[in-house]
Amino acid sequence: MCVALSRERIGNDLQIVRELLRHVVRRSVAKRRAHAHVKAEPACGRLQARVHARERAPIRLVGALWRSVGTGFGERKQLRRRRRKKLRDRQLGAERVHLAEVELQDRCCLRGERQARLAAEAKLAAQPMKPQRVYAELRRVLPPETIVALDAGAAPAYGYDRLSFARPRTFLTPLDLGGLGFAFPVALGAKLGRPQAPVVAIHGDGGYLMNSQELETAVRHNIGVVTIVMNNNCWGSEKAYQKHFYGGRYIGCDIGNPRYDQFARLFGAAGYYVEHPDQVGDAVQKALSESSPAVIEIPIDPDEFPTPVAAIKRPE
Ligand X SMILES: Cc1ncc(C[n+]2csc(CCOP(=O)(O)OP(=O)(O)O)c2C)c(N)n1
- The residues of the shown chain that bind ligand X, judged by CB under 6 A, are 152-155, 178-180, 204-207, 232, 234-238
Nearer to ligand X, 106 or 205 (CB): 205
Nearer to ligand X, 53 or 228 (CB): 228
CB of 162 to ligand X, least distance (A): 14
CB of 316 to Mg ion, least distance (A): 30
Distance of CA 124 to the CA centre of its chain: 19
Nearer to ligand X, 14 or 253 (CB): 253
72 binds, among Mg ion, ligand X, none (CB under 5 to 8 A by kind): none
Peptide bond into 128 cis (omega under 30): yes
* Listed ranges 54-62, 227-235, 269-277, 305-313: which one lies at the site for Mg ion (CB under 5 A): 227-235
Nearer to ligand X, 59 or 134 (CB): 134
178 binds, among Mg ion, ligand X, none (CB under 5 to 8 A by kind): ligand X
Nearer to Mg ion, 161 or 205 (CB): 205
Question: How many CB atoms neighbour CB 165 within 10 A?
Answer: 14
Separation of alpha carbons 172 and 175, rounded Å:
9
Nearer to ligand X, 62 or 215 (CB): 215
Nearer to ligand X, 128 or 178 (CB): 178
Residue whose CB is nearest to Mg ion in the complex, by number: 204
Contact status, residue 194 vs residue 219, Cβ threshold 8 Å: no
Q: Does 159 bind Mg ion (CB under 5 A)?
A: no
Of 72, 159, 185, 204, which lies in the binding site for Mg ion, with binding defined by CB under 5 A? 204
28 binds, among ligand X, Mg ion, none (CB under 5 to 8 A by kind): none
φ/ψ (deg, to 5) at 148: -115, 130
CB of 310 to ligand X, least distance (A): 13
Selection from 96, 23, 70, 308 nearest residue 166 by Cα: 70
In the chain, the amino acid numbered 304 is E
Contact status, residue 151 vs residue 187, Cβ threshold 8 Å: no
Separation of alpha carbons 227 and 156, rounded Å:
12
| Touching Mg ion, residues 232-271 (CB under 5 A) | 232, 236
CB of 8 to Mg ion, least distance (A): 47
63 binds, among ligand X, Mg ion, none (CB under 5 to 8 A by kind): none
Give the pairing of strands 46-50 and 41-43: antiparallel
CB of 193 to Mg ion, least distance (A): 28
Nearer to Mg ion, 47 or 264 (CB): 264
Interacting residue ranges for Mg ion, rule: CB under 5 A: 204-206, 232, 236
